[in-house]
Amino acid sequence: MPSHPHSHSHDSAGKVDAALETSRAGMRALWISLAGLGVTAALQAVIVMASGSVALLGDAVHNVADALTAVPLGVAFWLGRRAATRAYTYGFGRAEDVAGVLIVLVIAGSAIATAWFALERLAHPREMTHLPWVLAAGVVGFLGNEGVARYRVVVGRRIGSAALVADGLHARTDGFTSLAVVLAAAGTWAGWRWADPVVGLAITVAIGYVLKDAGREVCHRLMDRVEPALVDRAERALRGVPGVREVTGLRLRWIGHRLDGEATVVVDDGLSLIAAHDIAADAEHRLSHDLPRLGGFRVHPDPAGHAHRGRAGLGI
């Protein structure tokens, strides 16, 4: 069995580079999407000045405020780059999950605010003016927010950031709000004075579905849930390592947008400590290639004659 005296250091360097690259990708997505939302709000502001629409002004201000949810997520990505300390031995990747909770709360607040304004408009109807401008601004708001949403969701899923996905879904709720302006303006144009508040209530329901999806994704991360397919993939990779007879006690979890895990592998009784260590190093190296976004993984070799002890300790 060949030895790999430097495999851990090489793998660690690669993992650090990969972690930095995914953090950069997340920050890049935040900056680009923040610029997109800024342009969207600016165009809406121009139309607000031309049309004098207070409702559209509220939508533009809403877009600006919601764009600022990128701030806690940006702080989380920045914290995630920091090295582990003796107090935070796993590093600061969990900051992304905290940011995800804040984003979910903002989505919930958006749903409550939209419902409140819709009910208030039903109780106190007001005439909508400058309908062509308002409709155009709603289209601009929807397209801008939907573009940002798609970009954030795609990047978030690629780098494994549940918080960035939630922020993308949040941008989608803003697009729904802008789309409500379009539908309400079209309905008012057709003579339906009740169109504005009724559409607002319908959008509240749509935001509720987005809230459910974003909340479920963030909750899964907080509960250390991973896709079962990832566990199956890790088991297959470990069983394919020469010298591994069985895999027991495999665990995986997300820390921010990086995977962390551990496993016990059963090896032959007669192996020396160095040979068993080499098998564990080979297993960790294999996983670093077979699992996406793997940050850290620890393999413990267990002699076949004593494997039952590991199972008992892990409740297997």
User: DSSP labels for 57-117?
Assistant: HHHHHHHHHHHTTHHHHHHHHHHHTSPP-SSSTT-STTHHHHHHHHHHHHHHHHHHHHHHH
Angle, CA of 11, 221 and 154, to the nearest 5°: 75
* Residue 1 falls inside a structural domain: no
Where is pLDDT greater, at 184 or 224? 224
- Interatomic CA distance for residues 109 and 215, integer angstroms: 13
Q: Which of 222, 244, 263 is the last residue of a domain?
A: 222
Domain housing 93: 7-222
Write the CATH number for 203. Answer: 1.20.1510.10
The string of pLDDT tens digits covering residues 201-217 is 777 787 788 788 888 98
pLDDT at residue number 266: 93
Q: Which of 222, 257, 277 is the last residue of a domain?
A: 222
pLDDT at residue number 16: 41
Q: Which of 199, 222, 245 is the last residue of a domain?
A: 222
pLDDT at residue number 57: 62
State the distance between the two ends of the chain, measured CA to CA, in whole angstroms.
Answer: 30
Q: Are residues 216 and 256 in the same domain?
A: no
Q: Are residues 249 and 200 in the same domain?
A: no
- Interatomic CA distance for residues 84 and 88, integer angstroms: 6
* Residue 303 falls inside a structural domain: yes
Q: Are residues 115 and 58 in the same domain?
A: yes
Where is pLDDT greater, at 233 or 192? 233
pLDDT at residue number 59: 66
The string of pLDDT tens digits covering residues 119-159 is 877 777 766 667 788 888 888 888 888 888 898 888 888 88
Q: Are residues 206 and 282 in the same domain?
A: no
- Interatomic CA distance for residues 200 and 183, integer angstroms: 9
Give the 3-state secondary structure of residue 257: coil
| Mean pLDDT of the 254-279 span | 90
* Residue 211 falls inside a structural domain: yes
Q: Are residues 60 and 194 in the same domain?
A: yes
Concatenated DSSP letters of 25-36:
HHHHHHHHHHHH
pLDDT at residue number 56: 66
- pLDDT above 70: residue 8: no
* Residue 178 falls inside a structural domain: yes
User: 9 — phi, psi (to 5°)?
Assistant: -65, -40
Q: Are residues 241 and 166 in the same domain?
A: no
- Interatomic CA distance for residues 231 and 126, integer angstroms: 57
- pLDDT above 50: residue 6: no
* Residue 304 falls inside a structural domain: yes
Angle, CA of 303, 306 and 312, to the nearest 5°: 125
pLDDT at residue number 265: 94
* Residue 203 falls inside a structural domain: yes
Percent of the chain with pLDDT over 70: 82
- Which residue is listed with tokens 């090489």? 10
Q: Are residues 197 and 64 in the same domain?
A: yes
* Residue 2 falls inside a structural domain: no
Q: Are residues 179 and 288 in the same domain?
A: no
- pLDDT above 50: residue 10: no
* Residue 190 falls inside a structural domain: yes
Q: How confident is the model at residue 52 (pLDDT cuts 50, 70, 90)?
A: low
Q: Are residues 46 and 132 in the same domain?
A: yes
